[in-house]
Protein backbone atom coordinates (compact mmCIF):
# COMPACT_ATOMS: atom_id res chain seq x y z
CA UNK A 1 0.00 0.00 0.00
CA UNK A 2 1.29 3.44 -0.87
CA UNK A 3 2.20 5.64 2.15
CA UNK A 4 -0.52 8.20 1.36
CA UNK A 5 -3.21 5.52 1.20
CA UNK A 6 -1.94 3.88 4.38
CA UNK A 7 -2.22 7.21 6.21
CA UNK A 8 -5.72 7.84 4.84
CA UNK A 9 -6.87 4.34 5.82
CA UNK A 10 -5.43 4.75 9.31
CA UNK A 11 -7.11 8.15 9.69
CA UNK A 12 -10.49 6.73 8.65
CA UNK A 13 -10.14 3.82 11.08
CA UNK A 14 -9.20 6.18 13.92
CA UNK A 15 -12.18 8.47 13.15
CA UNK A 16 -14.50 5.46 13.14
CA UNK A 17 -13.08 4.18 16.43
CA UNK A 18 -13.46 7.61 18.05
CA UNK A 19 -17.09 7.93 16.98
CA UNK A 20 -17.82 4.40 18.27
CA UNK A 21 -16.18 5.22 21.60
CA UNK A 22 -18.26 8.36 21.93
CA UNK A 23 -21.47 6.51 21.08
CA UNK A 24 -23.97 7.55 18.44
CA UNK A 25 -24.31 11.24 17.75
CA UNK A 26 -27.53 12.89 18.86
CA UNK A 27 -30.15 13.13 16.13
CA UNK A 28 -31.69 16.53 15.48
CA UNK A 29 -35.18 15.02 15.25
CA UNK A 30 -36.75 11.82 16.59
CA UNK A 31 -40.15 10.21 16.04
CA UNK A 32 -41.47 7.56 18.43
CA UNK A 33 -44.19 5.31 17.01
CA UNK A 34 -46.56 2.74 18.47
CA UNK A 35 -50.00 1.38 17.67
CA UNK A 36 -52.29 4.22 18.80
CA UNK A 37 -49.96 6.86 20.29
CA UNK A 38 -51.75 6.42 23.59
CA UNK A 39 -49.21 4.66 25.82
CA UNK A 40 -45.71 3.72 24.69
CA UNK A 41 -44.83 6.46 22.21
CA UNK A 42 -46.05 9.41 24.31
CA UNK A 43 -44.11 7.99 27.27
CA UNK A 44 -41.02 7.76 25.09
CA UNK A 45 -41.54 11.28 23.75
CA UNK A 46 -41.61 12.82 27.22
CA UNK A 47 -38.91 10.62 28.75
CA UNK A 48 -36.55 11.21 25.82
CA UNK A 49 -36.28 14.90 26.63
CA UNK A 50 -34.17 13.89 29.63
CA UNK A 51 -31.56 12.32 27.37
CA UNK A 52 -31.57 14.37 24.18
CA UNK A 53 -29.89 17.77 23.86
CA UNK A 54 -32.10 20.85 24.12
CA UNK A 55 -33.41 21.83 20.71
CA UNK A 56 -33.87 18.26 19.51
CA UNK A 57 -37.26 17.99 17.82
CA UNK A 58 -39.17 15.06 19.35
CA UNK A 59 -42.61 13.80 18.34
CA UNK A 60 -44.71 10.70 18.68
CA UNK A 61 -47.50 9.17 16.64
CA UNK A 62 -49.51 6.03 16.18
CA UNK A 63 -50.32 3.88 13.22
CA UNK A 64 -54.05 4.18 13.93
CA UNK A 65 -56.21 6.55 16.01
CA UNK A 66 -56.29 6.08 19.77
CA UNK A 67 -57.59 7.67 22.95
CA UNK A 68 -55.61 9.01 25.86
CA UNK A 69 -54.93 6.45 28.58
CA UNK A 70 -55.25 7.70 32.20
CA UNK A 71 -52.75 5.11 33.47
CA UNK A 72 -50.07 6.81 31.35
CA UNK A 73 -50.77 10.11 33.12
CA UNK A 74 -50.47 8.37 36.50
CA UNK A 75 -47.10 6.69 35.86
CA UNK A 76 -45.62 9.78 34.18
CA UNK A 77 -46.71 11.93 37.11
CA UNK A 78 -44.74 9.58 39.41
CA UNK A 79 -41.53 10.66 37.63
CA UNK A 80 -42.43 14.35 37.40
CA UNK A 81 -43.73 14.41 33.82
CA UNK A 82 -47.03 15.64 32.43
CA UNK A 83 -48.60 15.21 28.98
CA UNK A 84 -50.60 18.40 29.47
CA UNK A 85 -53.38 18.66 26.90
CA UNK A 86 -51.62 16.44 24.40
CA UNK A 87 -53.88 14.00 22.58
CA UNK A 88 -52.93 10.92 20.53
CA UNK A 89 -52.22 11.52 16.86
CA UNK A 90 -51.58 9.29 13.87
CA UNK A 91 -48.55 9.35 11.61
CA UNK A 92 -50.78 10.82 8.89
CA UNK A 93 -51.63 13.77 11.17
CA UNK A 94 -48.01 14.80 11.76
CA UNK A 95 -47.21 18.30 10.58
CA UNK A 96 -43.58 17.41 9.87
CA UNK A 97 -42.73 14.01 8.43
CA UNK A 98 -38.94 14.22 8.21
CA UNK A 99 -36.96 12.77 11.08
CA UNK A 100 -33.35 11.66 11.51
CA UNK A 101 -34.45 8.71 13.61
CA UNK A 102 -37.70 6.76 13.89
CA UNK A 103 -38.01 4.47 16.92
CA UNK A 104 -40.91 2.06 16.83
CA UNK A 105 -42.19 0.40 19.98
CA UNK A 106 -44.75 -2.04 18.55
CA UNK A 107 -44.58 -4.50 15.62
CA UNK A 108 -47.21 -2.73 13.48
CA UNK A 109 -45.44 0.60 14.06
CA UNK A 110 -42.13 -0.91 12.98
CA UNK A 111 -43.64 -2.14 9.72
CA UNK A 112 -44.98 1.36 9.09
CA UNK A 113 -41.62 2.93 10.02
CA UNK A 114 -39.85 0.70 7.51
CA UNK A 115 -42.35 1.75 4.82
CA UNK A 116 -41.82 5.43 5.68
CA UNK A 117 -38.04 5.22 5.62
CA UNK A 118 -37.54 2.78 2.73
CA UNK A 119 -36.41 5.38 0.21
CA UNK A 120 -34.63 7.78 2.56
CA UNK A 121 -31.58 8.00 4.76
CA UNK A 122 -33.64 7.92 7.94
CA UNK A 123 -32.61 5.43 10.60
CA UNK A 124 -35.45 3.14 11.73
CA UNK A 125 -34.99 1.25 15.00
CA UNK A 126 -37.29 -1.26 16.68
CA UNK A 127 -37.47 -1.45 20.47
CA UNK A 128 -39.90 -4.27 21.28
CA UNK A 129 -41.98 -2.96 24.17
CA UNK A 130 -44.81 -4.83 25.90
CA UNK A 131 -48.37 -3.55 25.68
CA UNK A 132 -49.52 -2.89 29.27
CA UNK A 133 -53.20 -2.91 28.30
CA UNK A 134 -53.12 -6.72 28.35
CA UNK A 135 -52.39 -6.66 32.11
CA UNK A 136 -55.17 -7.94 34.33
CA UNK A 137 -55.78 -7.99 38.04
CA UNK A 138 -56.10 -5.24 40.59
CA UNK A 139 -55.54 -1.58 39.83
CA UNK A 140 -52.13 -1.84 41.50
CA UNK A 141 -51.16 -4.76 39.26
CA UNK A 142 -52.25 -2.88 36.15
CA UNK A 143 -50.36 0.27 37.20
CA UNK A 144 -47.31 -1.93 37.85
CA UNK A 145 -47.49 -3.11 34.22
CA UNK A 146 -47.51 0.51 33.03
CA UNK A 147 -44.58 1.33 35.33
CA UNK A 148 -42.67 -1.59 33.89
CA UNK A 149 -43.20 -0.26 30.36
CA UNK A 150 -42.17 3.25 31.44
CA UNK A 151 -39.02 1.89 33.07
CA UNK A 152 -38.18 -0.27 30.06
CA UNK A 153 -38.48 2.74 27.74
CA UNK A 154 -36.32 4.81 30.07
CA UNK A 155 -33.65 2.09 30.10
CA UNK A 156 -33.64 1.96 26.27
CA UNK A 157 -33.38 5.75 26.07
CA UNK A 158 -30.52 5.81 28.56
CA UNK A 159 -28.64 3.13 26.61
CA UNK A 160 -29.15 4.88 23.27
CA UNK A 161 -28.73 8.53 24.22
CA UNK A 162 -26.83 8.88 27.50
CA UNK A 163 -23.55 9.46 25.65
CA UNK A 164 -25.05 11.98 23.23
CA UNK A 165 -25.96 14.66 25.74
What pLDDT is attached to residue 73?
A: 97
Cα–Cα distance, 161 to 26 (Å, whole number): 7
Structural domain contains residue 74: yes
Structural domain contains residue 71: yes
Domain count for the chain: 1
What's the distance, CA 149 to chain centroid?
13
The conformation of residue 105, written as its DSSP 8-state character, comes to -
Structural domain contains residue 153: yes
- Give the end-to-end CA distance of the chain in Å, rounded to a whole number: 39
What pLDDT is attached to residue 23?
A: 52
Structural domain contains residue 7: no
Alpha carbon separation from 25 to 36, 52, 66, 161 (Å, rounded): 29, 10, 32, 8
CATH number for position 100: 3.40.50.2300
pLDDT of the chain along its 165 residues, tens only? 444 333 333 333 333 333 344 456 789 999 999 999 999 999 999 999 999 999 999 999 999 999 999 999 999 999 999 999 999 999 999 987 789 999 999 999 999 999 989 988 899 999 999 999 999 999 999 999 999 999 999 999 999 998 655
Structural domain contains residue 69: yes
Q: What are the φ/ψ torsions at residue 90 (nearest 5 degrees)?
A: -95, 165
What pLDDT is attached to residue 9?
A: 31
Q: What are the φ/ψ torsions at residue 40 (nearest 5 degrees)?
A: -70, -50
Structural domain contains residue 14: no
Within 13 Å, how many C-alpha atoms sit on residue 8's CB side?
5
Structural domain boundaries enclosing 118: 25-161
Among residues 164, 155, 93, the alpha carbon closest in space to that of 129 is found at 155
- Cβ 76 vs Cβ 146: under 8 Å: no
- Cβ 49 vs Cβ 79: under 8 Å: no
Structural domain contains residue 99: yes
Structural domain contains residue 55: yes
Amino acid sequence: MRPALAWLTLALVEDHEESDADGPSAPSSVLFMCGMNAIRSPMAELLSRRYLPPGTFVASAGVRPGERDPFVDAVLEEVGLDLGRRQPQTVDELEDDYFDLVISLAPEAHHRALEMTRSSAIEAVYWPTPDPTVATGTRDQIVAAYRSVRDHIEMMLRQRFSKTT
